[in-house]
Amino acid sequence: MNIITIIDKLGLTQLSEIFNPEQEINGGYTSDLLSDVMGNASEGEVWITMQTHKNIIAVASLKELAAIIIVNNHKPEKDTIEAAEKEQIPLLGTNNGAFEISGEIYNLLK
Amino acid sequence: MHAQYEIQGGDFTKAGLASSEVKKMLKQLNLDPKIIKRIAVAMYEAEVNVVAHAYHGIMDIELNTEKIIIKVQDTGPGIADIDKAMEEGFSTASKEVREMGFGAGMGLPNIKKNADELILNSKINKGTEVKLVFYLNHQ
Ligand SMILES: Nc1ncnc2c1ncn2[C@@H]1O[C@H](COP(=O)(O)OP(=O)(O)O)[C@@H](O)[C@H]1O
Ligand SMILES: [Mg+2]
């Protein structure tokens, strides 16, 4: 399923520019520990987290993740958004917590 | 081929920059994406360890047709007990660093899992050298 469809179906907020609306999302990984994501997430997955600082972009970019969803209406720092646009990693937001949004994405993709 | 990048200890705003540069360079060389993925994980963890635990570091990349050697050398406090540091979950990171999602004690285990060889040398109050070897024709 592509990123725009997921944004649409789940009512996600766009927090940074989306460069490729057709970007395929082939899974997800939910974690707030950067080394856990480094070790266990896979290319093309969406990362669900409450972390908002710039380092999440470096992790997503090195792992070639498809997008980051920031939960509980937390807002990314300004330099996080700048880094996201530079590295072309879409930052998305939701009012939901990690449990709900992970479940919804799981159901969409299964 | 040979390249070097600097790593500033304590500066989390720049954490991952050296690894990103190296990854871009490796992609341009058209190496096997699977190897690049393993290198990215291991070198990022080694870089972040300098940022989180040391004062200053150099990441040195050496590449030939057979293998890639990445050496991350730092000046810093060194590691008192390397066996303990290698344990999953062991971390001396501060509370602030943990709140950012670093300091899970998974860095060195991640390096071990992803590098073909890991050689760790450390001297208390001097610094640490992490040497990573990746064989290009490995399976
Ligand atoms: N370059 C380094 N300099 C000093 N200590 C280090 C260095 N790298 C690792 N360590 C020590 O080893 C521990 C475990 O490292 P690691 O597995 O990467 O976990 P983390 O960085 O999350 O604490 C660190 O908490 C620290 O005490
Ligand atoms: Mg670490």
pTM of the model: 0.97
Chain B residues in contact with A38 by the CB 8 A cut-off are 41, 44-45, 106, 110
Rounded Cα distance between A18 and A16, Å, is 6
3-state secondary structure (DSSP) of residue B119: strand
Range A3-109 classified under CATH 3.40.1390.20: yes
Nearest chain B residue (CA) to A58? B16
3-state secondary structure of B117: strand
Distances (CA, A) of B30 to A25, A53, B44, B46: 24, 31, 20, 23
- In this prediction, the answer to ipTM > 0.90 reads yes
Contact A59 B44 (CB under 8 A): yes
| Of the candidates A7, A69, A67, A61, the residue with the CA atom closest to the CA atom of residue A32 | A69
Domain ranges of chain A: 3-109
Looking at residue B30, which CATH number applies to its domain? 3.30.565.10
Q: Chain B: residue nearest A80 by CA?
A: B13
Which residue in B83, B80, B78 sits closest to B53, CA to CA?
Answer: B78
- What are the two backbone dihedrals, phi and then psi, of residue B57, each rounded to the nearest 5 degrees? -145, 165
Range of the domain at B114: 2-135
Chain A residues 16-75 with a CB less than 8 Å from chain B: 32-36, 38-39, 43, 49, 51, 53-56, 58-59, 61-63
Structural domain count of chain B: 1
| A15-72 confidence digits (pLDDT tens) | 999 999 999 999 999 999 999 999 999 999 999 999 999 999 999 999 999 999 999 9
Q: Convert the pLDDT of each residue in B7-61 to its tens digit.
A: 999 999 999 999 999 999 999 998 999 999 999 999 999 999 999 999 999 999 9
Residue B102, chain A, CB below 8 Å: the answer is yes
- Phi, psi dihedral angles at B36 (to 5 degrees): -60, -40
The predicted-structure confidence for A62-107, as pLDDT tens digits, reads as follows 999 999 999 999 999 999 999 999 999 999 999 999 999 999 999 9
Backbone angles phi, psi at B38, to 5 degrees: -65, -40
